[in-house]
Amino acid sequence: MRITSPKNCVVFIMLFVLYLLFSIWIYITPLAVTTDQKKESIELGNGHLIYQKYNCQACHQLYGLGGYLGPDLTNVASQKGKSTQYIKAYIQAGSAKMPSFDMSSEELESIVRFLELVDKTGKAHPKNFLIKNDGRIYSK
Ligand code: HEC
């Protein structure tokens, strides 16, 4: 059978048409982003701005990164006994070591939502390391 036989041409044209249809389909199909995800990413962005505005990262870590005066806040929203009310109360009243913050109720809601959404991204278990005098680092 010759390569340029009419039968091969038909197969080639069919495959080419399928290729074109598939490419068009890929380009016109919208990305699978739900409206919920869009809303959440806006809430996350807004909350992060408030988190930065009040400099929470100076004392707290997210995913183990940040200041070390206060505890890591990555999973504070889902920790046992730590409700939304608990977080709000901490922010508004502070403690002996944490200052209180006089923020509007929208900012408060926004920052609590931010901590809830960060918590949904996974669990962070910041490791404790043992640093020897000679510079070697071990996991505790
Ligand atoms: C000057 C340092 C400092 C800043 C700034 C700060 N915190 Fe804290 N925060 C702390 C310390 C220290 C603690 C632990 C409190 C204690 O042991 O008395 C704490 C505790 C908390 C807790 C309770 C955590 C837990 O696991 O029980 C939450 C929630 C919290 N902070 C949220 C925030 C948020 C939100 C901000 C920003 C608006 C913020 N903090 C800013 C120092 C700070």
Tell me the pLDDT tens digit for each residue of 64-109.
899 989 999 999 999 999 999 999 999 999 999 999 999 999 999 9
The chain-wide mean pLDDT, for the chain, equals 91
Residue 22 CA from chain centroid, whole number: 33
Is the shortest distance between the CB of 82 and ligand 1 below 6 Å? yes
Site to substitute for ligand 1 among 87, 88, 90, most atoms within 8 A of C-beta: 90
State the virtual CA torsion across 110, 114, 120, 121 in degrees, nearest 10.
Answer: 150
**Span between the terminal Cα atoms of the chain, in Å:** 72
Ligand 1 centroid to 47 CA: how many Å? 16
Residues 6 or more apart in contact with residue 98 via CB below 8 angstroms: 59, 70, 90
Instruction: Kindly tell me if the per-residue pLDDT of 126 is higher than 70.
Output: no
**Alpha carbon nearest to ligand 1 atom 41, residue:** 56
Site to substitute for ligand 1 among 55, 98, 103, 104, most atoms within 8 A of C-beta: 98
Is the shortest distance between the CB of 95 and ligand 1 below 6 Å? yes
Residues 6 or more apart in contact with residue 106 via CB below 8 angstroms: none
Instruction: Kindly tell me if the per-residue pLDDT of 112 is higher than 90.
Output: yes
